Structure 1
Amino acid sequence: MAHYPVRFALAGAATLALLLSGCAGLPGYPAATGTPVAQLVTDVDCQAPNLNFNWMVFPEGTSTQTDLTATHPDAPEPGRVPADFEPVSAYLCTFYGSVDDDQGRWAAVTVETRNGDFGPLLSALAEPSDQAGLNQACTADMELVPELWLENATGDAMRAAWPRTACGKTKRATSTALDQLELTDTVKLPLVLEVTRPALDAGCVMSTGTPEQSLLFGVTGLQTYTTGEVGENPQPIPVPPAEVPSYDGVDGASVCFYTVDPVTESEPRELRDIEGTEFSDEALDSMLTLRSGTFESATTLEADAAALLPAAASAPQAPACTADLTRFAVLWPGRAGTRLASPIQVELDGCQRLFVPASEARVPAPALLAALIG
């Protein structure tokens, strides 16, 4: 069988340690009692779409059936080690890192293979999980617990359950026993394609806010808040206005094209009730209906079109407009081979406006718009 061996992120690899709360309901890891015996399968599979770490990889409500995961069935539920099961290898699967290939950049699962004396590990896994006590108080840490698979000499595999404390945390004996095994192999396996090869080569993100959304958050003077003493009302801290960038000396630009996604409603936010806020109705409506674009393609500007960019920040202000937008471009100007950190956004249809950081919507040069629309 092909070995499926991440950086070994055992219990407590990342913690939030914020407050005391009840034990039940930790994401994917409730305190378990009466754990059933694990089901044997013919292969270790750290890419199964239903593993616990996949809530970080696949957002809730979206399908996990990508071209890759469609070929992987769900893994069985974790369970106790069968009495006659003699492991020869342990596999720890942790959502960690990324993998690049001809298709692009994938979110990855890192798989470690460990071998050695399995006596201490079997003893640790045989411990029962503890029951939560009445009004049990627990710290609200979030454990990033690896998936643990065991394999025997004939290739049978099982997904092992980690014994839990009364607070649903993993018992230390299991991680201690795993640390005593010898690390013999580590490999990263792809899970979800995050950035396509064309976007990766062009330095484009796969999703970004529409130009109008950038204008909203860049010009309306959004504020951050400090709570001061416990019990005090939040006090606004004005964010100083950003400076309009200069594009003098720009000699080229890479261009990322995006198709506007369908409108989605965000979670309601009680912004009107926050003391010190002065958001207009229009700004509030825009915040509650955020729009973004998905990467479509990429190119570079010809020299004559790039020569128009220094004048972008001083172009005439665009008139009011509400036409629907379906495509836009994000231009990344460059100077002497270095990409600037101040992109220019251009609507390719709808109102056909140009946006630079810390400025109002402007009218793009007709030649620039023609070069982008093709």
Structure 2
Amino acid sequence: MPTRAAFPARRTTPDARLALLACLALCLGAAGLAGCAASPSYPPAPSLSPPAINSPGILTHYTPNPAALQDSANCPANASWLLHGDQPAAAVKDLMGSVPAGFVPVAVVECNRGPVPTSAGASPVQPTIVEDHLSGDYAPLLAALAVSSDRQDGVNCTAQLEVTPDLWLVNAAGKAVHVIWPTDACTFSKPGVAKALAALHVASTQQLEIPVAP
């Protein structure tokens, strides 16, 4: 019985093997690029850091310039502040300040808004200012007025108007100075002055009528 001759095995040359490897590498590279292009993209993970908070600035202290020496105490001069809470006029504010060095008071004058009449009528209500002359030991008051005021940026303050009494110091020659209350960083008065005033006695009082603007 005749036998089928076997086919001889194919031999590959070195050049053929190199060509085959190059083709395989090219195919794998193309498949890798296609896989990268098809990979989905994800947004970056959110930051877990807390938001930045504006911290208050540095607390500093200051003392106003010394108050100007005036001929006498004058409660009606600052009526707009006492009656309505408006800022003092420039002519008044420029003369106000701290207690001058060497100034020795022999009298203290406190100015407050007078009582408002309860009866209603057609005519405008006549505003008044109460002028109290205080006596006693002035040393605690001078110490409280010598305390420096505070200044600080970025502080959260209560939206509130504080109308402090006007305060005048009078020396033996009858000259007077219009002094400013020390304040905190929110421009509220420091408690020392009010405490010192409460320890003084009212020697005399006068009620001053303030003309109504037409």
Does the CA-based 8 Å contact 2:81-2:163 persist in structure 1?
no
- The 5 Å alignment of 1:110-129 reads 110-129=130-149
Partner of 1:174: 193
| Residue in 1 that maps onto 2:170 | 151
**Structure 2, unaligned runs of 5 or more:** 1-59, 118-122
Question: How far has the Cα of 1:145 moved from its partner?
Answer: 0.7
CA contact (8 A) 2:67 2:179 kept: yes
Residue pairs, 1:78-227, within 5 angstroms:
78-97=96-115, 106-132=126-152, 134-193=153-212
Higher relative contact order (CA 8 A, sep 6+): 2
Q: 2:75 aligns with which of 26, 34, 46?
A: 46
User: CA offsets per residue over residues 108-129 of structure 1, 9 Å max, x none?
Assistant: 1111111111111111000100
Query: How far has the Cα of 1:41 moved from its partner?
Result: 0.4
Q: Partners of 1:139 and 1:104 in 2: how far apart? A: 33
Paired residue type of 1:40:
L
**Offset, 1:46:** 0.6
CA distance in 2, matches of 1:39, 1:51: 20
Q: Which has the higher helix share?
A: 2
Cα deviation, 1:174-225, whole Å, max 9, x if unaligned, reads: 1111111111122210112379xxxxxxxxxxxxxxxxxxxxxxxxxxxxxx
**Secondary structure, counterpart of 2:149 in structure 1:** coil
The residue identity in structure 1 corresponding to 2:211 is V
Cα distance change on mapping 1:46 and 1:192 into 2, 3 Å: same
Counterpart residue number, 1:249: none
Q: Once the 2 structures are TM-superposed, how far is the Cα of residue 105 of structure 1 from its aligned partner?
A: 5.2
Q: Structure 2: how far apart are the matches of 1:178 and 1:120? A: 9
Paired position in structure 2 for 1:67: none
SS at match of 1:36: coil
Percent identity for Structure 1 against Structure 2: 30
What letter corresponds to residue 128 of structure 2 in structure 1?
A
Pair 1:33–1:121, CA change in 2 (3 A): same
Q: Is the 8 A contact 2:67 2:95 kept in 1?
A: yes
SS at match of 1:47: helix
Question: 1:41 corresponds to which letter in structure 2?
Answer: Q
Q: 1:175 to 1:138 in 2, by over 3 A?
A: same
- List structure 1 runs of 4+ shifted beyond 6 angstroms: none
Between the aligned partners of 2:141 and 2:167, the Cα distance in structure 1 is: 11
AA aligned opposite 2:148: P
Distance 1:46 1:155 in 2: 15
Aligned to 1:199: none
What's the secondary structure of 2:194's corresponding residue?
helix
CA RMSD of aligned residues (A): 3.1
Provide closer, same or farther for how the CA distance between residues 139 and 180 of structure 1 changes in structure 2, counting only shifts above 3 A. same
Distance 1:139 1:163 in 2: 18
Alpha-carbon shift at residue 51 of structure 1 (Å): 5.2
CA 75–169 in structure 1, closer or farther in 2 if over 3 Å, else same: closer
Q: Residues 148 and 163 (structure 1 numbering): CA distance in 2 closer, same or farther, change over 3 Å? A: same
- Tell me, in whole angstroms, the C-alpha distance in 1 between the residues paired with 2:125 and 2:79: 21
Structure 1 residues 38 and 84: CA distance shift in structure 2, 3 A: same
Count matched residues: 148
What's the CA shift for 1:141?
2.4
Cα distance, 1:50–1:152 mapped onto 2, change above 3 Å: same
User: TM-score, normalization: structure 1?
Assistant: 0.36
Check conservation: 1:46, 1:93, Cα contact below 8 A.
yes
* Partner Cα distance (1:75, 1:191) in 2: 19
- In 2, Cα distance between the equivalents of 1:153 and 1:108? 28
- Which structure 1 residue ranges, 5 or more long, are not aligned? 1-30, 58-63, 65-72, 196-374
User: Which amino acid in 1 is paired with 2:98?
Assistant: R
Greater share of residues in strand:
1
Matched letter for residue 151 of structure 2: Q
Compared with structure 1, are the counterparts of its residues 145 and 127 closer, same or farther at alpha carbon in structure 2 (3 Å cutoff)? same
Structure 1 residue 50: Cα displacement: 6.4
